[in-house]
Amino acid sequence: MRDEGGGIFLGEEEEEEEEEEEEEEEEEEEEEEEEEEEEEEEEEEEEEEEEEEEEEEEEYRYVMW
C-alpha cells in the first residue's frame, strides 16, 4: 500500500513499534522537564531561605546596635 506521497506504508507491527518508541521518548522528555522544574523550585527555595537568613542577620545586627 502506498500513501499519497508515494511512500510505502509500514506494516502494523512496525507502526506499533514506532508509536511505542515515540511514546517512550515523550515520557522521557516529560520526566526530564519535571526534573528540571523540581531543580529550579529547589534552587528558588534555597535562595529564599538565604535571603530570609540574611534579613534575620541584618535585623539582629540592628537590634544589637
Each residue's pLDDT tens digit, 10-54 = 577 788 889 999 999 999 999 999 999 999 999 999 999 999 999
Torsion angle of C-alpha atoms 36, 39, 43, 48, degrees rounded to 10:
100
In DSSP terms, 8 is beta-bridged to 2
Residue 15, Cβ density class (10 Å: 0-12 exposed, 13-18 middle, ≥19 buried): exposed
C-alpha cell at 20: 511505542
- Per-residue model confidence (pLDDT) at position 30: 97
**Where does 2-50 show beta strands of DSSP type E?**
none
